[in-house]
Amino acid sequence: MSSSTSAVAVTSTAVTRRFPRISTVASATFLTISTILVLFPYLFAVSTSTKTYNEFLHQFLLPTLPPTINNYVVAWQLVSTYIWNTALVTVLSVIPSLVFASMSAYVFARHRFPGRDALFLVILSLIMIPGIVSLLPRFIVVMQLGLLNSYWALVLPYISGSQVFAIFVLRTFIAELPEELFEAARIDGASDLQMYYQIAIPLSKAILGTLAILQTRNIWNDLIWPLMTVNNPNVRTISVGLAFLNNDQQSLFGAVFAGYVLASLPMLLLFALTMRQFMSGLTSGALKI
């Protein structure tokens, strides 16, 4: 009995030791397959961007040598205006959006006034409304103001549309800041404006950075709203420009895919440079995960 019991114990121990290894191998395999599936469209675009038209037809998936770098020269001539337009719209939208949202959030977080909580709940309830519902009303307002085919048709709705989420996040974070900091500032004679930009804003840099990255990504990838409001080729953003480029330059597959790659590089560069800032914002305050 003792020998059989020992054998069973040894077998169970061996199985127990094997299970972590099996779990590790399974996890690594799953992550590898997921990574390949996620990266495959981008790798396919990079590979196709270096092919001629004949190479694209005869070697659809496999890369070819030597690569055709001239596709990127052609693509830059086609999409450079769209990239600069998108960058301009992003800057004009993100900075005022964060300024207005941080001011509103500071008032909601650090001041008490009649109807404050009710007003905040009304603003917060707008998060539950799908963006597609407000698409037509926004378009009518922009059209009535005569802003179609201009940068303002993009900038003003982007600023207003990003306020609700930004106010919610910033208000929650600023409300958690120690009250002693603001009391000490009041004793020293600081005004509300001074406490806003000398205490609240410096301590909220991580959250503000994360919101800026999220808004930049949303604006850069937006297609529906620019497609509805901008028909002028000189004002088109990169998403709309690539859509028209795909229709107008069907024979230049390499240049079209090179345009896709060029359009994605700013977002890749932004994430590479701000990844630490982005993660810091996600793991602090109201965005804590």
**Residue pLDDT, tens place only, 200-248:** 888 888 888 889 999 999 999 999 999 999 988 899 999 998 888 876 5
Contact (Cβ atoms closer than 8 angstroms) between residue 110 and residue 120: no
Q: Which residues of 262-274 are buried (b: 16+ CB within 10 A; e: fewer)?
A: bbbebeeebeeeb
What's the whole-number mean pLDDT along residues 70-96? Answer: 92
> Which pLDDT belongs to residue 113?
85
> Which pLDDT belongs to residue 116?
86
Highest mean pLDDT of the ranges 111-125, 149-163, 190-204, 257-271: 149-163
Q: What band does 18 get if pLDDT is binned at 50, 70 and 90?
A: low
**Residue pLDDT, tens place only, 246-257:** 765 556 778 888
Q: What band does 284 get if pLDDT is binned at 50, 70 and 90?
A: low
What's the whole-number mean pLDDT along residues 42-70? Answer: 78
> Which pLDDT belongs to residue 43?
84
Residue 67 pLDDT > 90, yes or no? no
> Which pLDDT belongs to residue 287?
46
Q: What is the pTM of this model?
A: 0.81
Q: What band does 141 get if pLDDT is binned at 50, 70 and 90?
A: very high
Q: What band does 9 get if pLDDT is binned at 50, 70 and 90?
A: very low
> Which pLDDT belongs to residue 250?
58
Highest mean pLDDT of the ranges 122-131, 189-198, 221-230: 221-230
Q: What band does 54 get if pLDDT is binned at 50, 70 and 90?
A: confident
Residue 172 pLDDT > 80, yes or no? yes
Q: Give the whole-angstrom CA distance, residue 160 versus residue 98.
A: 11
Distance of CA 171 to the CA centre of its chain: 21
> Which pLDDT belongs to residue 289?
40
